[in-house]
Amino acid sequence: MSDKVDFKIVEGDNIKIPKHIAIICDGNGRWAKRRGFPRTFGHKAGTRPIEDITKSCLELGVKVLTFYVFSTENWNRDNEEVDFLMKLFTRFFVKLRNKAGKNIKVKHIGTTDNLSHKLIDEIKKTERLTENNSDMVLNIALNYGSRYEIINAIKNIICDRDAGILHENKITEDLISSYMFTKGLPDVDLIIRTSGEMRISNFLLWQSANAKLWITKDFWPDFNYEHLKEAIKFYSTS
Ligand code: IPE
Ligand code: IPE
Ligand code: MG
């Protein structure tokens, strides 16, 4: 497949480009196992579609793209796998930073609790270096859990109320959105999940209240532009 974006997708009358696409990147382990490799091999292979799909979404005019790469529940996996993932994410943030010329603003969403200093440092450097980029926001949901995010928002709302900054009459949907990690960004229009699971897995519960859901049986490392096109067609026509 050519990595050049085929703009035919946007020519039809019925094609609408979602403002915010959020992807649950699932199936790396199974992808590797099918090939007789360790799960970590699948995680490494899973970084390529993140880069390819980011490039395609940028060219299609998607404003916000969120990848779910590690949940707050994923700490329960083998130490060895978690260690591998954390090192992979550290290198991945460095790589993203070096692609900042693409005018993409990179953001981490989730908690930094339990992340290594090195990873936190690379995240912060990447966020700083890309903060003025304005063509697209790329959220990396790493150590992310929607319930954690909601609890965090509630705590901050109560703090601000106690400090006299906020009155309960001012609590609206928009106000609550502004206490989420996705502050200032549009809600999710389209969720994509790979590897066939019909689950939300604690992902952007507040922000996806009105999102459409598209699921493919294919594993994340095999996800490509054809899948993205299918998902956008589904979004436009369903
Ligand atoms: C998704 O792939 C990546 C992470 C959650 C880190 P999995 O690791 O969940 O792969 P499967 O679902 O077990 O095949
Ligand atoms: C969680 O993946 C979501 C991510 C891809 C990061 P899992 O593969 O751990 O999800 P569940 O637990 O099977 O729903
Ligand atoms: Mg999985």
> In this predicted model, what pLDDT tens digit does every residue of 10-50 receive, in sequence order?
556 679 999 999 999 999 999 999 999 999 999 999 999 99
Residues in the chain: 238
Which ligand 2 atom minimizes the distance to the CA of 68?
6
68 lines ligand 2 (CB under 6 A): yes
Evaluate whether the domain defined by 19-237 bears CATH number 3.30.950.10. Answer: no
The active-site residue, picked from 52, 74, 152, 218, is 74
| Tens of pLDDT, residues 63-96 | 999 999 999 999 999 999 999 999 999 999 999 9
Q: Provide the whole-model pTM.
A: 0.95
The rounded percent of the chain whose pLDDT value lies above 90 is 91
| Tens of pLDDT, residues 151-192 | 999 999 999 999 999 999 999 999 999 999 999 999 999 999
Alpha-carbon Rg for the chain, nearest whole angstrom, is 18
| Nearest-10 Cα torsion for 112, 219, 78, 147 | 40
Q: Is residue 64 within 8 Å of residue 136, measured between CB atoms?
A: yes
Confidence at residue 10, expressed as pLDDT on a 0 to 100 scale: 57
- The number of angstroms, rounded, from the C-alpha of 197 to the middle of its chain's C-alpha atoms is 17
> What's the 30 CA to ligand 1 centre distance in angstroms?
8
The rounded percent of the chain whose pLDDT value lies above 70 is 94
> What's the 42 CA to ligand 3 centre distance in angstroms?
11
Helices (H) then strands (E): counts for the chain = 8, 6
> What's the 213 CA to ligand 2 centre distance in angstroms?
16
111 lines ligand 2 (CB under 6 A): no
Q: Which residues of 36-46 are buried (b: 16+ CB within 10 A; e: fewer)?
A: eeebbbbbbbb
* Torsions phi, psi for 167 (to 5 deg): -110, 145
